[in-house]
Chains A and B, each alone.
Chain A
Amino acid sequence: MSVLAFYARNSQEALGLVWQHVSLVAISTGAAILIGVPLGIALTRRPAWRGPVLGLANVFQTVPSLALFGFLIPLPFLGGIGARTAIVALVLYALLPIVRNTYTGIAGVDPAVREAGRGMGMTDGQLLWLVEVPLSLGVILAGVRVATVVGVGTATIAAAIGAGGLGVYIFRGVATVDNTLILAGALPAALMAIAADGLLGLAERRLAWRRT
């Protein structure tokens, strides 16, 4: 209950950090969708790009998050201390699941359906928006869900480079050996991840075409 007491005393600051955290995740995941979905679609049209693009995205995913933040800090324009660097790193993390799922989803559309569409005189754009994207929406959303949940977690580390968010409480709590402070950061971050997972899972089930 000491956590609740802590919030009562510091509600202004706590809400500010929650808002920062949500913003970090929303902006970075949003940007990753805007980049990743078109990129995934492009890969289905240019199979030769698939290896290099997915390989590169995979590399970003593999680098430990704190190290990636570290690499970005010295870079001009993108880097530096603060939220901008954190958002760049979070976008790089979110890209792989979104690009990969967009590609896999569209590539997995029944070839007979695609051929029927082309044979009936759909343009490539009509085939994409009327058939391929709707049929792979579930798989694409699953990628967005993974990216968002991972993003909520990784954003806690963003506090280490001065980007704010709930990580601020966690790092401060660790430094001062204060469990209440650690929980004040960790609990809402965990709840946020669970809520994002649940909501996007719901969207996935509502919007996705169920396979027969």
Chain B
Amino acid sequence: MTTALEVSGLGYTLPGSGNGQSEQGRPLVEDVSFTVGTGETLVLLGRSGSGKTTTLKLVNRLLEPTAGEVRVAGERAADLPVTRLRRRIGYVIQEVGLFPHFTVERNVGLVPGLEGWPPARVATRVREMLALVGLDADTFGARYPHELSGGQRQRVGVARALAADPPLLLLDEPFGALDPITRVELQREFRALEGRLGKGMVFVTHDVREGLLLGTRIGLMHQGRLAFLGTPDEFRRSDNPECRAFMEAAG
């Protein structure tokens, strides 16, 4: 199994507030290490403010790490031009962030287009990706994001992240804003998709059930640190107090 993502000793401290005080804030992320293999989904679980989203942003360098190292498919992230790095990492966020003035087709075909694929190949790829997430390209391709339901938009978001065939996918609470029924539907489909895709994935959520359903491994973040890392079964049996708190919350 090749590694899609290797993170070692990752840390992030906010730059000093600049008013001459030597006091620096507490690190938002400290000494986080993990690897994600191809075909594996690491779920980063944690309370709000535990550093899960920050960790994701350190991987695609929306934030620059102040400590440690990130390797994507073997290459040091810090050595790559930041735009090239990001085009090799699919990114899905809760608010979806589809471009409202682009049709579904253009949204999905964006990164391949930036990468200079010939238009015919982009068009084929867009159809494939839409089919993969269960949307018919003839029906939905020419629509604008505001003409879609929340669930459909999120599907387009996943299709867009997959379009340039990146080895790694980062998902930041992708189903967080959906109604419970659509949410369960998408979780089920996503689970079926995971195995087929053969990508490394990092999936951020604060929902334990979602984490246990979708993760091949769970990383529990607490106050900026990785408090637990293991399989869902190990997570269920763990006597780590933070793990227990989450299991109890899930009922």
Q: A: which residues have CB within 8 A of B?
A: 110, 112-113, 115-123, 126, 130-131, 134-135, 209, 211-212
Contact = CB atoms under 8 A, between A and B. Distances in A.
15 contacts: A110-B100, A112-B96, A112-B97, A113-B99, A115-B62, A116-B93, A116-B96, A116-B98, A119-B60, A120-B111, A120-B114, A121-B84, A121-B85, A123-B83, A134-B101
B204 to A, nearest CB: 13
Q: Which size bracket describes the interface of B in this complex?
A: 20 to 34
A122 B99 contact: no
A119 B91 contact: yes
Contacts of A209: 100-101
A116 B97 contact: yes
A117 B93 contact: no
B95 interface: yes
Contacts of A121: 82-87, 111, 114
A212 B147 CA distance: 9
B110 interface: yes
Interface string B170-200: 0000000000000000000000000000000
B146 interface: yes
Contact of B114 (A116, A122, A131, A212): A122
Given A115-B62, A120-B111, A122-B114, A131 B83 contact: no
A122 B95 CA distance: 18
Nearest to A118: B62
A117 B97 contact: yes
Q: Is the interface of A mostly helix, strand, loop or mixed?
A: helix
Contacts of B84: 121
Contacts of B111: 120-121
B30 to A, nearest CB: 23
Given A112-B96, A113-B97, A117-B97, 14 more contacts: A112-B93, A115-B97, A116-B91, A116-B93, A118-B62, A120-B86, A120-B91, A121-B82, A121-B86, A121-B114, A126-B114, A130-B99, A135-B100, A209-B100
A131 B91 CA distance: 17
Contact of B62 (A119, A123, A134): A119
List 9 A-B pairs, minimum CB-CB distance, nearest first: A116-B97, A212-B146, A121-B86, A112-B95, A121-B87, A119-B91, A112-B97, A121-B83, A209-B101
B86 A131 contact: no
B85 to A, nearest CB: 7
Interface string B70-84: 000000000000111
Contacts of A115: 62, 93, 97
A209 B102 CA distance: 10
Contacts of A131: 99
A126 B146 CA distance: 23
A115 B61 CA distance: 12
B86 A119 contact: yes
Interface string B43-87: 000000000000000001010000000000000000000111111
B115 to A, nearest CB: 8
Interface string B148-174: 000000000000100000000000000
B100 to A, nearest CB: 6
Contacts of A118: 62, 86
Nearest to B86: A121
Nearest to B94: A112
Contacts of A134: 101
B83 A122 contact: yes
A52 B197 CA distance: 53
A192 B60 CA distance: 53
A116 B101 CA distance: 14
A118 B87 CA distance: 10
Interface string B96-118: 11111100000000110010000
A48 to B, nearest CB: 13
Contacts of A122: 83, 114
B147 to A, nearest CB: 9
Contacts of B83: 121-123
